[in-house]
Amino acid sequence: MGISSVCYQVIMAANYTQVCWVEKLYLNFTQIKKALMSAYLNSILYIIDIHIKYFTRVNVMNEFELLVMTSEAWLNTVLQDFSTFLIDHAANERKASAMALSMLTHYPDRTQLVTAMTDLAIEELNHFRQVIKLIQDNNIELQSDVKDPYIMQLRDNIRSGRDNYFLDRLLVASIVEKRGSERFALLATGLTDAKLQHFYQNLAKSESKHYLLFLELAYVYFSVDDVVPRLKELLKIESEIIVKLPLRSALH
């Protein structure tokens, strides 16, 4: 082998190494590009997925209105004996907290419900503490609970059977929260004390979120075909109960 032949082979080997290196680099670049494209596409798909879920949820979750609005007569009754109303209000907040705890105890396998009810129990108990402070600041004496005819009659309409019972509990809770929100908002319009007015306006917002929370949970665990017709029935039942309730200085 002549010197020129050796040089030729060295040059060819060097070129081959260079080609391999370039090919490797190109391969790496192609893989990186593919990975980036994939990540980019995944991000786009993820965003689309979120939007589909959001809009589906919004479309599916039809917010509802109560069939009967609270009368001015109720507002006047409460304003005439606000101390008695406060005692009943405190009891309602405490019972709402207890109800949330009861729900999560009853359905420990439903993760979303357990998380939501834990937060709700704390929030309602915080409302209870705020009302208790109002009661104590005004030197009002707490009294033992009086049975709530509105809640009792609604409970009588909760069906038995595992699924029916669960769905009705969620929907009744949603309606009760909606009624609470409607009444707190109305009460705020009748109060003259700015601090109290602000307190009840905030409570109305808070209870409105709870109404949506229970409604959303109903749509998490049940289909639209299960929720909508039963919700309509329960709203009708609630309206019939509310118009027949005797007027008293209480939330219901």
- Positions in the binding site for Fe ion (CB under 5 A): 93, 96, 124, 127, 177, 207, 210
Q: How far is the CB of 93 from Fe ion (least distance, A)?
A: 5
Smaller CB distance to Fe ion: residue 114 or 226?
A: 114
Smaller CB distance to Fe ion: residue 133 or 159?
A: 133
Length of the chain, in residues? 252
Q: How far is the CB of 53 from Fe ion (least distance, A)?
A: 26
Q: How far is the CB of 126 from Fe ion (least distance, A)?
A: 8
DSSP assignment of 21-90: HHHHHHHHHHHHHHHHHHHHHHHHHHHHHHHHHHHHHHHHS-----SSPPPHHHHHHHHHTHHHHHHHHH
Token couple for 115: 């998380």
As a whole number of angstroms, the distance between CA 204 and CA 208 comes to: 6
With contact defined as beta carbons under 8 Å apart, do 238 and 194 qualify? Answer: no
Q: How far is the CB of 157 from Fe ion (least distance, A)?
A: 20
Smaller CB distance to Fe ion: residue 197 or 202?
A: 202
Of the candidates 134, 105, 112, the one whose C-alpha atom is nearest the C-alpha of residue 193 is: 134
Smaller CB distance to Fe ion: residue 67 or 212?
A: 212
As a whole number of angstroms, the distance between CA 176 and CA 238 comes to: 9
Q: How far is the CB of 88 from Fe ion (least distance, A)?
A: 13
Smaller CB distance to Fe ion: residue 151 or 226?
A: 151
With contact defined as beta carbons under 8 Å apart, do 220 and 116 qualify? Answer: no
Of the candidates 174, 183, 213, 179, the one whose C-alpha atom is nearest the C-alpha of residue 201 is: 183
Q: How far is the CB of 113 from Fe ion (least distance, A)?
A: 16
Smaller CB distance to Fe ion: residue 123 or 226?
A: 123
Enumerate residues 6+ apart whose C-beta is below 8 A from 242.
68, 70, 150, 179, 252
